Amino acid sequence: MPGAVSATAPCCSTSGRTQAVNRPRGRTFHVCRNQAVAAPPTPARSPASTGSVKSPMTMTEKILARHSDNTRVMPGQNIWTSVDKLMTHDVCGPGTFGIFQREFGENAQVWDPEKIVIIPDHYIFTADARANRNVDILRDVVKKYGIKYFYDITDRSDFRANPDYKGVCHVALAQEGHCKPGEVLFGTDSHTCNAGAFGQFATGIGNTDAGFILGTGKLLIKVPPTIRFVLEGQMPSYLMAKDLILQIIGEITVAGGTYKAMEFAGPVIEAMSMEERMTICNMVVEAGAKNGVCPPDDTTYDYVQQRTDEPFEAQFADEGADYIEEYRFDVSKIEPLVAAPHSPDNRRNARDCRDVKIDRVYIGSCTGGKTEDFMAAAQLLHRAGGQVKVPTFLVPATQKVWADLYGLPVAGCEGKTAAQIFEAAGCTPPAAPSCAACLGGPKDTFARMNEPQVCVSTTNRNFPGRMGHKDGQVYLASPYTAAASALAGTVADPRDYGA
C-alpha cells in the first residue's frame, strides 16, 4: 500500500497483538507482520459545513449535536440528547418500567408510546417460571401505556404460531425498520450498538437511564471522542466481518475503545452488506466502546426504505473532523481468526489452534445468527461435503431468518436450501429464534453448556460462564470458521475446506 508503514517491523508478541508506535498529532499507529498496515498521518482537510453545523465534527458528534439543539458538540461535553427510539427486552424491561413507575408515579404516562420498542428474546423457550413471568409483566405494561411496538409471544410450544414474535432484539430492530440513519437509539442491552451499522447513534444503557427516558424522552450523556478505522484492500473469500472485528479488538484490546465512538470507513466497509456491517458494529462494545457507526450509503438506504416509510436524515463526518486515533487495515493481510478463552481480544489465527479439540459448535446470536451467517456456513459445508464431527447447534436470530433457511436457495449450492445442507451434514435442525445459549440462561435453554465443554461459537462474548457452565471454554469465530471446525472436530481454518 503506498505510503504504508513497514509491515515487517519486529513487533509481534506471542499474544498476537502489535506494539504501539507513537506518531505526531496525538495518534497511535501499529505495525505488525502480515497483520494491520497503518498509514502515516494524512494532511489536515479543510472544514466543511452541513446544515446548521458550522464546525467540523465526526459522525457521532453531528448526530448528537442535532439531537441536543447545539450547532457543535465536543468530546467530554455533557449534553441532553433527545431520543428517537428506546428498546427494552424481557430481561430488563420489567425493571425499567418498575423504576419509571417508582420515580414518575403510578399514574404517569410514558413520553411517547410509539417510540418504545419491546422485544422478548432472551429467556423465552424455557419452563423457568420467573423468566416467563417477565414476559407477563411486559404484557401488562404494554396494555397500560398503549405501547405500539411489542413483539409478543403467547404460544411457546410453536413459535410459528406467534406472528408478532420476532426473536433477537438487535436483528429484529433492523428487520422491522426501527434502525434509521441519523437517529438516536438507546436500548437496555449492551449490543444495542449493533444499529450503528445504519449510521445511527445507538448504545446500551441500564434500567435507571431507560426509566428516565420513559418519562422524559431525553438522556444526559457525555459526548465520546471518536477513533476512526479505515478498512482497505481486497477482502479474501475466506474472511467475514467477524474476522475483521476480532482483528480490531485484538489490536486495541477490550479496553482500547472505552467510552469512545468507533467509526468505520473505507472501501471494504462500502462493499459490505448491511448484515456484515451489523456484525462489525455489534462487537464494538467488546472493546469498551460507547458506540460504533458506519457511514450510510445506497446499501443502507435500500435496506431501510424497504422496511419503513418514516423519514430520516443521514449524517456524515465533516472534512477536517478531529479523531483521537486513526487505524488503517489492509484486510488482504488478515487470516481467519478466533478469540480464544476467555476474552474477545485473545486473538489467535485459526490455523494455529488446530490442535484444540472441541465438543460442539454453535451458530447463532445477534452477531452470528443472521441469514448471511447461515448461508456462509451452509456454503462451506456443501463444498466440503461429509458430516460434522461434533454436535452443531443452529439458532436463527429471528423468524425471518428461520424462514430464509428453509425457503432461500444457497448461492452456488445446486438450488439447495441452508436447512437441507445442514441436515445432510448432520447438524441439529434450526431451533426456535431467540438468544438461546448466547447468554447461558436457565438450564433448559436450547444448546446451553451445562457441562465444562469446549465450543466454537459465532456469538460475541467468551467470558467464563457466558454460555452456561463456568468452566466451559468458548472460541469466538466467523460462521466460516465455525462450520469448518464442526467438520474437523477441532478449531479449524476455513481455507482447509475450500473457503
- Express each pLDDT in 222-276 by its tens digit: 999 999 999 999 999 999 999 999 999 999 999 999 999 999 999 999 999 999 9
8 Å CB contact between 178 and 148: no
Query: How many CB atoms are closer than 10 A to CB 444?
Result: 12
pLDDT digits 0-9 by tens, 412-450: 999 999 999 999 999 999 999 999 999 999 999 999 999
Residue 498: predicted pLDDT: 85
**Distance of alpha carbon 80 from alpha carbon 77, whole angstroms:** 10
- Quick: pLDDT tens for 64-78: 999 999 999 999 999
Q: Within 13 A of 269's CA, how many CA atoms are on the CB side?
A: 27
Chain centroid, CA 81 distance in Å: 23
Pick the range with the lowest mean pLDDT from 21-35, 227-241, 402-416.
21-35
**CATH classification number, 20-334, choose in 3.10.150.10, 3.30.300.30, 3.50.50.60, 3.30.499.10:** 3.30.499.10
Written as one string, the DSSP assignment of 356-416 is -B-SEEEEEHHHH-SHHHHHHHHHHHHHH-S--SS-EEEE-SBHHHHHHHHHSBPTTSTT-
Q: How far is CA 260 from CA 164, 257, 263, 288, in A?
A: 36, 5, 10, 8
**Residue pLDDT, tens place only, 85-103:** 999 999 999 999 999 999 9
What are the pLDDT digits (tens) for 343-392?
Answer: 999 999 999 999 999 999 999 999 999 999 999 999 999 999 999 999 99
pLDDT for position 29: 31
What is the model's pLDDT at position 54? 65
Cα dihedral sign, 39-41-45-50 = positive
Is the pLDDT assigned to residue 298 strictly greater than 90? yes
- pLDDT for 196 equals 98
Q: Is the dihedral of CA 470, 474, 479, 483 positive or negative?
A: negative
Packing angle between helix 418-425 and helix 399-407, nearest 10 degrees? 80
Q: Given this model, what pLDDT does residue 499 score?
A: 82
- Alpha carbons 203 and 139: distance in angstroms, whole number: 25
* Strand partners of residue 78: 222
- Domain 337-497 sits in CATH at 3.30.499.10
Domain boundaries, the chain: 20-334, 337-497
Q: How far apart are CA 285 and CA 254, in angstroms?
A: 8
The residue written with cell numbers 457521532 in the block is: 60
Q: What is the mean pLDDT of residues 109-119?
A: 98
The domains spanning 20-334 and 337-497 adopt the same CATH topology: yes
Amino acid symbol at 210: A
414 Cβ neighbours under 8 A, 6+ residues apart = 382
Residue 109 has pLDDT above 70, yes or no: yes
HSE-up of residue 445 (Cα within 13 Å, Cβ side): 25
Give all strands of the β-sheet with 85-89 in edge-to-edge order. 149-150, 116-119, 85-89, 184-187, 201-204
CB-neighbour burial class of residue 317 (10 A; exposed 0-12, middle 13-18, buried 19+): buried
Nearest to 89 by CA among 192, 9, 17: 192
Residue type, 251: E
C-beta neighbour count of 86 within 10 angstroms = 27
pLDDT at 51 over 60: no
Query: Could you tell me where the beta strands, DSSP code E, fall in 135-244?
Result: 149-150, 184-187, 201-204, 218-222, 226-232
Is the pLDDT assigned to residue 24 strictly greater than 50? no
**Mean pLDDT, residues 202-217 taken together:** 98
Computed over every residue of the chain, the mean pLDDT equals 91
Determine the Cα–Cα distance for residues 224 and 74; give it in Å rounded to an integer: 8
Q: Provide the whole-model pTM.
A: 0.90
Looking at per-residue pLDDT, the higher value among 330 and 22 belongs to 330
- Looking at residue 236, what is its pLDDT? 98
